[in-house]
Structure 1
């Protein structure tokens, strides 16, 4: 080292102080974020109605309903079904259990229904509203206590279950209960095993995972603060995706930095010089990759669904901290560790034997990636055409993807008491009992609305919220209102709020079924003839409007994401042709992943369908993250092309990035696969689509298709930049 070089360095105290301060700051964020994990359950909500678009009809009904009730309650249906006719002893026990249920904290006792026997005499049910703000766990804790009460007092020959919206909410909350422990443990274990295999070092995987966990803790700290201030509502679904996205992205960015750092150390530089060289080589692709993902995620703010809008900024916060940790904490830790981080192996470049001279054959030498480079250079056109044909073949499964929505009873995979209870209800009562469609219209149109509702296929009965009746409602018949209650119950009067009345239409089909959604659509169309201002809501309408908004989002968000990423690639690569080719490869890869996933979902996993948001989320994650690997590859290709010419640069870029891209792809696929441990249909599907798609990108698109196509096109891929006018 020359005196001039030594003199240009910062003083020793600064080289010691800067990394130390960075490590201490991140350590503080790690500790504070770790404490914030315990507050996640307090700010997470899984109520589907809270994530509807403001313009949805069901949203307006939810807001108007508040005027007709004294509490913000979620109905729970307690259903009993016997092997035969319920005898007097069983009926008396059910009545006694009802009284005990009404005494449970959180149950709104004065709004509970009486015990209602089925027409066949083999079942009974009663409905109890549960205060949405009851206790720390809300409806879930109350439902768990009711279920415990029923388990303590079994009735011989009679099955009992808690179902309805509160029951399904409790089952969903239970399914998400492993998100803090099990999900993180599986994801971190998978990443650790991959890193140990890749680096064969005990210390380096710990440094990388420490960086990822620091980024996650900082993200959780920020998100919990925003959710606690009611700025960003948080769902279990968003929480799970945040965990996986931060761990996967932070690890990927760390791998890219480590590859550059190892190259610099292998060249004989000091730890400080290697750090500066690694930062110079890694910051642009890391910032470009993270920025691309952030832009793609923030485009979700254009979504109609609040759940999608919230995922965008929450996940973007996570990606921002992942980038920041990879460019600050990781360099500080590696500066501290130096070559010891790679022990017991020596720090060497990924392709230490790569030819360095401009006239040398870039495919010469040993190693896997030298072999791949030779394969691509030998028959580039055959390679990219065959790769494209294989991806196109995978796309043939796309028409089999059923992404028009699934019943909410299918959201939870595996056992679900609420789903079992819903089946019991359907066997003995109108399947929509306890979760009716809600109709709100003018007081003067009461009888007309009721008549239209009764005549609509799929509607079993119609009631109106009324005063002066024990049940708080009355049946609406052709002759007027009929009170529920013992003989002598006074004639009811409909409850009127701002000139409106609220009717409840009990549906013949389960409230979460596609048949019930079709009934709601018929109701809305028929009631428009009474008055266009009549609104239809309820849990079925919530699902219907959510699916409709999700389908609209797909058509709006996907083109915006493509356009934004294309623009970023053009700015980064100073080219138009290369970004177009890269975007085309990513879209084809996504379609192939979706096609294979559709066949697996239908014929292997036997899923009942998919939520309309599944293709959208799969697209955002796969395209944004898939472009990451394009950026890792093509920024290095451009760097090498400037020095050695386009075709030689492509082969050198492939050799130099092949190992890091493969490792990053395996890590990201493993982290998303970890989502599959949660028994949630949506997350299981996203898990498979993204994990398979990332592997497809890693081993086919980025390894063969993109290098071969770029090699075949030659320097024209850089058009209109100066590189396109070069001689090689």
Structure 2
């Protein structure tokens, strides 16, 4: 950050103006943040690939079915066999159900099962589009209660899209509040352990929470006036990401400020120096995250492309708060907030006596052996990826706990065709309706007698058919492929429905993985090259983060399958995990390498690597623990995708901070030496050292803990330098 800007933020008098402006701005944005739920779009279409065939069917089928009407199946099962008055009882039950305000149209049934043990009623529920997501669980509960009251002792289940939607709505209910509370709890504990102060932790936490509320306000305004798509999933991830990343930035700035307080008597000047030195690394890391997230705009999946700008906006807000409000608050309150470990002017820097200084000296003895062994170990963990079945989750596999709709769906499949109540939908040109129906009847996997006569409205014909297999099974997906092949020559024919939607989602997610992952890698590489002014270091750092991602995903796959008992993974999990782990994981390398480069200008690369590790090791480890803890909070929701994402990102962040950054990158710095900075000027001078000096001599010099010139040698304090 420019000296003039940092000096203005930390100025004795100007800080009060900055404080007032920031509090007013954040308060105004926070007031809009409370309205974020009002602009969320949680309908099916808001998650789907915009150009997919099933998405087009949704748009065209609205003239045949009200988009605000969702079907529910009331299933009654009497295991001891039918009773003489069952049919009469069911007719009475239809009347009771029809009295529910949300029930619309005719109730279809009762439809008896072939085994005579069960009967079903198909009920249409009209849901207010403004309150439908929140209201749906109550409506389904009313439907279930009415059925139980009139079932005459039969077991009652409610299945179908309405029941599944109700369970999903319950799972996401209060997602923002639940995740934020869980994340705050983790942050409080980590800040207390990091600072060992009863006071200091409050300031970063307040800034983090204000960042979340302000980010929600910005996203609300973008959704309201810039047509940004927001759903419950992206809103939940926003809270976790902003709080976790914001606290990371705060930890780095506070650590640099504490260093400067030992070097500088005036706290305002100390903060100006801290901002000048720390802000470039913070801005670079934040920019990397923002660029990585914005790459998601290229995704076919609407939910994925929408997450990109939502999360990117949150990171920008977090950067502003942590680089403007946090330093102002710290200088306003003064040194005493660090009590009982108040940094005094003239105190020695403790880094050389810390654990990371000792770790660096141990690595320096055999750096090549360390990085080779570490790479092989991480590569071995990467092999676990073969256990990751990221081909999508069935409805039953989507929840971490048992859900009423899943139990009902399984019971329905016992007595009726697998796709009952969830038909394959076909639209075609008006004059091709008969051809579409005939082609659909011949498709293997479609019950021929369930194919309806075409209904024509305007220039579109509509046909339905029932799948023989469960609608979320692989067999059902194969049937959709056969149906599309069979209807390929029918003018205007498109195949949709829930099964087609899920199939298209998997295909789109796979395509997104192939497109976006390479683009993110290139974008991050360019940012690193500009920041470090070198080519070798960016390539090495990116390789280490990708290796860390592979190891995290491999270990996660083994844990998902053999420990947590998850049957598979959502098809978008690899991309989401990659974005967060590469974008966030590179943060820690940026924090380390900017400090290493700074020290290398004074001491040469090898000794600079040891100083950089010792100086940043503690704060980066704390930051990683905070971010890992906040993402782990996603596991508090009963959604398998979010639980898996939280676990994978948390594990990957821990690998980055504890293994990759502290061990692997440090060992590579020590082994490669000045070659890390090729082709920059630092490569030629290596901090003033003659570039032609034998590398082995420098390596011995850096690795010898007893050498009197080693700034991290036991008993020899680091030389004074402006941090």
Using structure 1 for the length normalisation, give the TM-score: 0.89
Does 2:365 match 1:370? no
Distance verdict in 2 for CA 1:18–1:145, change over 3 Å: farther
- Quote how far apart the aligned CAs of 1:235 are: 1.4
Deviations for 1:378-425, whole angstroms, at most 9, x for unmatched residues?
Answer: 111111111101101101111111001111343222121111111111
Change (3 A) 1:348 1:710: farther
Provide the residue aligned with 2:97 in structure 1.
101
Where does residue 536 of structure 2 map in the other structure? 577
Instruction: For 1:228-247, list aligned pairs within 5 A.
Output: 228-229=224-225, 231-247=227-243
- State the 1:10 CA deviation: 8.4
Contact 2:477/2:500 (8 A) holds in 1: yes
Query: Of 508, 513, 520, which aligns to 1:549?
Result: 508
Shift of 1:48: 3.1
2:522 aligned with 1:563, yes or no?
A: yes
| 1:114-154 residue CA offsets vs partner (Å, 9 max, x unmatched) | 32221222111122222242562446145344345337616
**Corresponding residue number in structure 2 for 1:167:** 163
Paired residue secondary structure (1:673): helix
Which residue of the partner structure matches residue 714 of structure 1? 673
1:221-370 correspondence runs (5 A)? 221-229=217-225, 231-347=227-343, 352-353=348-349, 365-370=352-357
Query: Is the 1:435–1:506 contact (alpha carbons within 8 Å) kept by the matching residues of 2?
Result: yes
Aligned equivalent of 2:78: 82
Cα 1:71–1:584 change in 2 (3 A) is closer
* CA deviation map 1:452-495 (0-9, x unaligned): 3223222124556xxxxxxxxxx44xxxxxxxxxxxxxxxxx53
Partner of 2:483: 523
CA gap 1:41/1:86 in 2 versus in 1, 3 angstroms: farther
Q: Distance in 1 between matches of 2:150 and 2:317?
A: 52
Question: Deviation at 1:182?
Answer: 2.3
Gaps of 5+ in 1: 1-7, 356-364, 465-474, 477-493
Deviation of 1:41 after TM superposition, in Å, equals 3.0
Paired residues, what number?
682
1:529-556: CA deviation from partner (whole Å, max 9, x where unpaired): x426311011111111111000000000
The equivalent residue for 1:612 is: 571
Q: Does 1:498 align with 2:498?
A: no
| 2:661 maps to 1:702 | yes
Cα distance, 1:450 vs structure 2: 2.5
Tell whether the 8 Å contact from 1:172 to 1:411 is kept in structure 2 after alignment. no
CA distance in 2, matches of 1:34, 1:81: 51
Say whether 1:403 aligns with 2:399. no
Cα deviations by residue, 1:184-237 (Å, 9 ceiling, x for unpaired):
111101111011011011111111110111111110111122323471221111
| 2:107/2:122 contact within 8 Å kept | yes
Choose which of 371, 383, 390 in structure 1 pairs with 2:370: 383
Q: Output the aligned Cα RMSD.
A: 2.4
Q: 1:560 to 1:644 in 2, by over 3 A?
A: same
2:435 to 439, 448, 453: 448
Check whether the contact 2:72–2:158 (CA below 8 A) recurs between aligned residues: yes
Whole-angstrom distance in 1 between the partners of 2:376 and 2:670: 18
Q: Contact 2:613–2:666 (CA<8 Å) still a contact in 1?
A: yes
SS in structure 1 at match of 2:598? helix
Between the aligned partners of 1:562 and 1:720, the Cα distance in structure 2 is: 21
Of 589, 593, 601 in structure 2, the residue corresponding to residue 634 of structure 1 is 593
* Structure-2 change in CA distance of 1:537 and 1:145 (3 Å): same
Q: Is the 8 A contact 2:432 2:491 kept in 1?
A: no
Aligned counterpart, 1:149: 145
Change (3 A) 1:10 1:560: closer
Deviates more, 1:502-511 or 1:548-557: 502-511
Q: Distance in 2 between matches of 1:449 and 1:164?
A: 25
More off after superposition, 594-603 vs 342-351 = 342-351
Distance, in Å, in 2 between the alignment partners of 1:506 and 1:583 is 49
Partner of 2:470: 510
Secondary structure in 2 aligned to 1:496? strand
Runs of 4 or more above 6 Å deviation: 8-12, 348-351
Q: Identify if the C-alpha distance between structure 1 residues 592 and 95 changes in structure 2 by more than 3 Å, giving closer, same or farther.
A: same
Q: CA deviation at 1:71?
A: 5.3
Deviation digits for residues 78-128 of structure 1 (CA, Å, limit 9, x no counterpart) = 222222323244443333332232222232x22542322212221111222
- Using the alignment, how far apart are the partners of 2:666 and 2:344 within structure 1? 24
Deviation digits for residues 55-77 of structure 1, max 9, x if unmatched? 21111111110122355322222
In structure 1, C-alpha distance between the alignment counterparts of 2:575 and 2:500, rounded to whole Å: 22
1:656 is displaced (CA, Å) by 0.5
Q: Residues of 2 paired with 1:9 and 1:141: CA distance?
A: 52
User: Structure 1: how far apart are the matches of 2:547 and 2:130?
Assistant: 49
Alpha-carbon separation, structure 2, partners of 1:685 and 1:556: 22
- For 2:469 and 2:116, how far apart are their aligned partners in 1? 20
Q: What secondary structure, in the 3-state scheme, does the structure 2 residue paired with 1:197 have?
A: helix
Work out whether 1:191 is the aligned partner of 2:187. Answer: yes
Once the two structures are TM-superposed, the CA of residue 707 in structure 1 deviates from its matched residue by 0.7
Structure 1: distance between partners of 2:252 and 2:346: 11
